[in-house]
Chain A
Amino acid sequence: MFHQPRDRAEALDLRARWAGDATVLNGGTDLLVALNRDAIQLRHVLDLSRVAGFSDINRENGHWVFSGGATLAKIARIPVAALARAAMSTGGPAIRNRGTIAGNLGTASPAGDGCVALLANDAFVELTHATRGVRSIPIADYFTGFRKTALLADELITSVRVPADWKTAWQKIGKRGSINISLVCGAGGVSPTGAVRLAYGCVAPTVIRAKSAEAIIDRDGWSDGAIEAAAQAAMKDVAPIDDHRASATYRRAMVGVVTRRLLKELRP
């Protein structure tokens, strides 16, 4: 069965009723890749692409609130530097027109550019059930393992809240500017009170933060020496693997490069 709900309540009801038996679809840029590889079979499809208002982006109480269906093309125009640049670096226009923020979070790829950007400025992910209501999960608690998240089978990722007043930066190492999956990507964020966040993709089973590198900047400030120490620490915080795209050694070295670039851009 193909379900194409027109409003949020209907979408949540269908999700609660079918739970894991229904495959949630929006832009299809991840799901259809799996389908084309015969990796999945479809019985019930819950297509969220026609839910009214589900691609809206609003400014509320100092936050950007992205509805789950906000496309990468729309996000690329929002003035949150890391997130906008992560969105712009994902695929070409045909992917950005279809791919969504909830899709990025639902797939929870360790290479998810958008996930890395959200992790670097303390976003909140809102998971909603038809009757139990909304759970607002700090992004740091959302990713629980390789492609595993806090999302339950009967919930939808309804929105993502991102503070609007952080300074953020973005770096991606890949064979071309976009289109290609990142070999290593990183995002940095500095809160209005000076808290530092450093997040990376493609260097662990989930997107991850380099907490010991963050702690060095928190403690020692933004001198060249502190930035170098943080870059060295970040290279130890990550756990990359060898694969057909790049070696673990190369990825670890690039974490150092990305960290230096992010911190120099964010330096007050």
Chain B
Amino acid sequence: MSETQVPQVRVTCTVNGAAVDRDADLDRTLLDFLRDDLGLTGTKGSCLEGECGSCTVILDGAAVNSCLVLAAQTQGCKVETIEGLANGDKLHVLQDKFLASGAAQCGYCTPGLIMAAKVLLDADPNPNEQVFFEGMEGNICRCTGYAAICEAIRSAAKEWK
């Protein structure tokens, strides 16, 4: 099917606090909409089937895989991505702790991990072991072995506001 035959949909939502109102292909995923239409390339696509979590963003307060949401489905919704976390030059505490703990090697999974961790800690700033792992089990890292990632999230939790 050529580009011109794909039905268009008006997408009206909020991304990192900014109003978005533009046309998108009916079959545009939120991942591609963020990266290719809005230029927000912090969110990474990898498996495109919901196993790896690298494309995790926050949709109306809940973690979602942006590769498995249609842009059209975000009508009236609030979308938060990794680009929305820092306040100017001041990094978000999760970004800060990921750096301090050396929680990234290639870094491809990091934006997704940080967004999943934000949802986890917003819901429970002091999660027990089970809640912690249930909150993070949707995100895979193939480099680090997870110890530094867990340490970063635990130390961010201590300063959670």
Residues of A within 8 A of B (CB): 1-2, 4, 25, 27-29, 32-33, 35-37, 41-43, 45, 47, 49, 88, 91-95, 97-98, 176-180
Contacts and interface: CB of A to CB of B under 8 A. Distances in A.
Interface stretch (B33-41, B45-53, B89-97, B100-108): B45-53
A41 B116 CA distance: 30
B81 interface: no
Interface of B: 1, 7, 9, 26-27, 29, 48-51, 53, 56, 62-65, 67-70, 72-73, 75, 116, 119, 134-140
B128 to A, nearest CB: 16
Contacts of A41: 1, 27
A4 B140 CA distance: 33
Contacts of A91: 50-51, 138
16 contacts: A4-B75, A25-B70, A27-B68, A32-B67, A33-B49, A35-B29, A42-B27, A43-B7, A47-B73, A91-B50, A92-B139, A94-B62, A94-B116, A95-B138, A98-B64, A178-B137
Given A98-B64, A179-B137, A32 B70 contact: yes
A33 B29 CA distance: 11
Given A32-B69, A93-B135, 4 more contacts: A28-B68, A94-B65, A94-B138, A95-B138
A88 B137 CA distance: 11
Nearest to B70: A28
A88 B131 CA distance: 12
Given A32-B70, A47-B72, A94 B135 contact: no
B73 A49 contact: yes
A37 B47 CA distance: 10
Contact of A32 (B56, B68, B116, B140): B68
Contacts of A97: 62-64
B138 A2 contact: no
A92 B135 CA distance: 7
Contacts of B72: 2, 4, 45, 47
B70 A45 contact: yes
A94 B50 contact: yes
Contact of B49 (A36, A42, A43): A36
